[in-house]
Structure 1
Amino acid sequence: MTDAPHLLIAWHSRTGGSEALADAAARGAATARLIAADAVTPADLHAAAGYLFVGPENLAALSGAMKEMFDRCYYPCLGRLEGRPYATIICAGSDGANAQRQLDRIATGWRLKRVADPVIVNTAAQTPEAICASKTIPAARLAEARDLGAALAEGLASGIF
C-alpha cells in the first residue's frame, strides 16, 4: 500500500451478500483496505481517509458484528475522525431503513460526512430458509457497489472529500 489516502471498507456478512458487495466495492477502489468488522481496530479507522461500511440488516437492525465494531472503536475514535467522508451499503431482507438509520447515527456521533446516497440491496429474504440461505447479489447491484468503491477512492485520491 502507498502513502496515498486510502478508503477503509469495513464489512460483516453472515450469508455472503454483504461480503460480495464489500468485495465488489474493493475491486472498484484499488487502494482500499478491506477488513472484516471483527478485525477492525481504532488504528485502522485512524489511518483511513474515508470509510465504506457494508453490513447486513438483521432483525430490522444493524448486524450485531457491525454494531460491536462500532461499540469497540467508538470512544477511541471519538474526536479524531471529524469531517472524514463515509458511505454505506446495507444488504437487507426487507427495507434496511432501520439498519441504515442506526449506522448514520453512529457516523453522526463521529462527525463523519456522508458523501454518497445510502445503498440498500434488498434480497427479499422473508422465510427462515431464505433468510439463512447464502445470498447471490445481482450483477447490477455488484456493479453499483464497485462503482461506489471507485468513486470513493477517486474522491479521496483527488482531494474532493
Structure 2
Amino acid sequence: MDSTGKKILFVVWHSRTGAAKQMAMAAVEGARDVIAELQAAHQLNIIIKEAHEADTPDLLQADGMLFCAPENLAALSGAMKEFFDRCYYGALDRLNGRPYALLISAGSDGSNAARQAERICTGWRLTPIAPVHIANLHAQTAEDILAPKKLSKQDYEACKTIGGTLAALLL
C-alpha cells in the first residue's frame, strides 16, 4: 500500500525484442480497464518498472505483482533473473500470500523460464492468480529470434485478461 492508502500493483518486465514488453503493457491496459470500470482510481496504483530498475522496496510495498519476461536459451532472461537474484533474500518471508501473475514470451516453448520464475515465486510464498501465460512466437532462426516481435491478438487479449483479473483481486 502506498502513502495515500492505495493498493499497489507492481509490474516488473524485461524485453529484448518487444514481445515481453507488449505483454506487460497489455496486462497494464487490462488492469486500467478494470480500475476505470469499477471507478476505483482512488483505490489502486500501478507501478511499472523494467527489471534493472526494480528493487526489494518495490516488492515490499506491492499488494500484488506481475512479472513479464522472455525465455532466452531455455531459461528466464538474464535481466529478469538478475532482478530475482538481487531481491530474493530481502523479500523472503515478507511477501507471503500476495497475488501474482507471470507472463513469458518464447520462441518455441517457454516452459523452462516459467518453471524457473514459478519456483522463485513459490519461495516467496506468492499466490498465483492464473496459470502462466506463454506467448509462443515461433522464432526458430537466428534472424527470427533477433527480430522485433509483435504479439498475436489472442496473446494480447490473454495478457489483458490476466492484468484485469489481478487488478480486480486487489480492489
TM-score interval for Structure 1 and Structure 2 normalised by the shorter chain: over 0.9
Considering only aligned residues, what root-mean-square deviation do their CA atoms show, in Å?
Answer: 1.1
Partner of 1:130: 144
Partner of 1:60: 74
Partner of 1:111: 125
Match of 2:110 among 81, 87, 96: 96
Partner of 2:17: 15
Q: How far did residue 139 of structure 1 move?
A: 1.7
Partner of 2:26: 24
Give the secondary structure class of the aligned counterpart of 1:154: helix
Match of 1:72 among 83, 86, 104: 86
Q: Does the CA-based 8 Å contact 1:6-1:153 persist in structure 2? A: no
Deviations 1:72-131 (A, max 9, x none): 001111111011111110000111000000001101111111111110000010100000
TM-score (norm 1): 0.94
User: Structure 1 stretches (4+) deviating beyond 4 angstroms?
Assistant: none
Distance in 2 between residues matched to 1:103 and 1:141, nearest whole Å: 19
- Identity of paired residues, percent? 50
Q: Does the CA-based 8 Å contact 1:26-1:33 persist in structure 2? A: no
Give the secondary structure class of the aligned counterpart of 1:126: coil
Match of 1:5 among 3, 7, 11: 7
